[in-house]
Structures are given as C-alpha cells and as structure tokens.
C-alpha cells in the first residue's frame, strides 16, 4: 500500500457498508470511484448474499476489479496461527490489495499473516475507534487508549506489519518513532466533519487527522449518509479538500 499520494482523494478509503451502494449493479458506487482511492469491504459485504443467492463479496470484488479500484478486505482476523494461514490464503484468491487483522490475535498469528500475504498489505487493527477511554481502561486494567495503541503498534511492527489502523489522536508522532524502518503507514477511521450521535468514541475531523499524522482516512458515514447540504459525491470532494488543507499544514 503506497504511503504518499499527490492527489488528496487517493488518501480516502471508502468504507462500503451501505446497501444503497450495492443496488442496481452498484449504480450508486460507480460515479463515486473517481473521487476516492480505495474501497474497504467489511462484514456487511463479506457475509451478504445477493437476491439470487450468490455472494455479494464476489460480485462487489469483480465490479471493483473491472473499474481498477484497489480493495481492502476488512476481515479483522483474530484466531490461532493455522486458522489465520488458511484465511489469508483464501483472501489472496480474491486478488485484493490488503486485509485487516487484530493486533491482539498474538505474535505468531501476526507473523503467519505477514508470511502468507502474497503481496497484499497486512493492516493491523490496534484499538477500535468505538472504544473510549473508560472502556479501554476497563478492558486493559487501567491502560488508556494512547498507551494501548502504542503497545499494539510495537507488537505489529515487531512482527513485520507496518500498516496500522488507529485513531488520529493516539499520538501518531510517537508511533512513528517505534518503527525504525520509517515505513509506517497509518490508516485512520472514525472520520467525522462534526460530532454525530453514533458509536465512534474517538473520532476526528479529516483535516485534524491528516494534520496529526494520518496517511489515509477510512471514511464511511460521511460519504454514504452525508450532511443534508451535500450529495455523497460532493461529500467525498469536501473530505478531499479538508485532506489537502491538512497536508498543507504538514508542509506536504
């Protein structure tokens, strides 16, 4: 997964998790593709069936291949090494560009995923952005999000995985210092133009996320259910504009 892009829209990973973009042979998705850089396919697609009983995942992957669009399979793998190996080999048959795996799955499973990736980018999930400070401290015995993300990032990097997924406010500058190869790529979900009453506890504005050091933004709701003043394509353009502002602040 290439780290830097001259065009801000190529830093947008669209989280395709809305049925409206699947109807009528992906008619709503097609005009969006020139305004994003990659499509992330999550559980809503992976486990879905089309009306004829065929796999929605296979149909969507074929559609994106036909439109030369990079694909990230958001499998969030978390299992023992042998099971991870089998899963990664199956994902590889799809011809996609990358997949996700939880850092908490364990070192050996992470190493196996990296070894079996066949050129795909392995994206390590640190701490879900739906988990806030209190819940994190409850789960990890008093450890807050920033420290827990740093722990998972170090684990991933030590296992050869240098693309990580975390919040924009998990001290990204400190995370980069962990990676001595200087190859770290940071993908940031939980992107919002303003606060929403939803499940994102650690959200960030796109400009703020880029300014904080994120390389790419995983964006779902702000595109498929945008604010009333935007159509979904205009929403994607607006996010690209905010990304550009963040890049200028970083001197890029």
76: annotated active-site residue: yes
With residues binned 3-state (H G I as helix, E B as strand, rest as coil), the percentages for the chain, rounded to 5, are: 45, 15, 40
Q: Of the candidates 196, 189, 186, 146, which has an alpha carbon nearest to the alpha carbon of residue 169?
A: 146
The C-alpha atoms of residue 113 and residue 34 are separated, in whole angstroms, by 31
Q: Choose the catalytic residue: 76, 154, 237, 245.
A: 76
Instruction: Report the alpha-carbon distance of residue 107 to residue 209 in Å, rounded.
Output: 28
- DSSP per-residue letters across 72-134: EEEEEE-S-HHHHHHHHHHHHTTT-SEEEEEGGG-HHHHHHHHHT-TTPEEEEE-S-TT--HH
Continuous H helices in 105-231 = 107-115, 133-139, 145-158, 172-178, 206-212, 221-224
Query: Which residues carry out catalysis?
Result: 76
């Amino acid at each position: 997964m290439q780290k830097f892009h001259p065009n801000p829209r190529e830093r947008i990973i669209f989280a395709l998790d809305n049925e409206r973009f699947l109807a009528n042979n992906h008619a709503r998705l097609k005009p969006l593709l020139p305004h994003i850089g990659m499509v992330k396919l999550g559980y809503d697609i992976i486990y879905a069936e089309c009306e004829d009983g065929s796999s929605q995942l296979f149909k969507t992957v074929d559609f994106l291949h036909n439109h030369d669009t990079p694909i990230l399979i958001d499998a969030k793998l978390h299992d023992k090494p042998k099971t991870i190996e089998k899963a990664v080999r199956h994902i590889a048959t799809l011809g996609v560009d990358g997949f996700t795996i939880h850092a908490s799955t364990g070192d050996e499973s992470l190493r196996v995923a990296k070894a079996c990736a066949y050129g795909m980018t392995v994206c390590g999930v640190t701490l879900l952005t739906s988990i806030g400070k209190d819940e994190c401290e409850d789960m990890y015995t008093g450890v807050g999000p920033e420290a827990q993300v740093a722990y998972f990032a170090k684990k991933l990097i030590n296992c050869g995985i240098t693309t990580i997924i975390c919040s924009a406010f998990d001290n990204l500058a400190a995370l980069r210092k962990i990676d001595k190869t200087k190859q770290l790529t940071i993908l940031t979900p939980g992107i919002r133009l303003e606060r929403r009453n939803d499940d994102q506890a650690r959200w960030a504005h796109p400009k703020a996320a880029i300014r904080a050091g994120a390389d790419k933004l995983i964006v779902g709701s702000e595109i498929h259910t945008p604010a009333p003043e935007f159509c979904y394509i205009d929403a994607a353009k607006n996010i690209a504009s905010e990304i550009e502002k963040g890049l200028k602040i970083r001197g890029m």
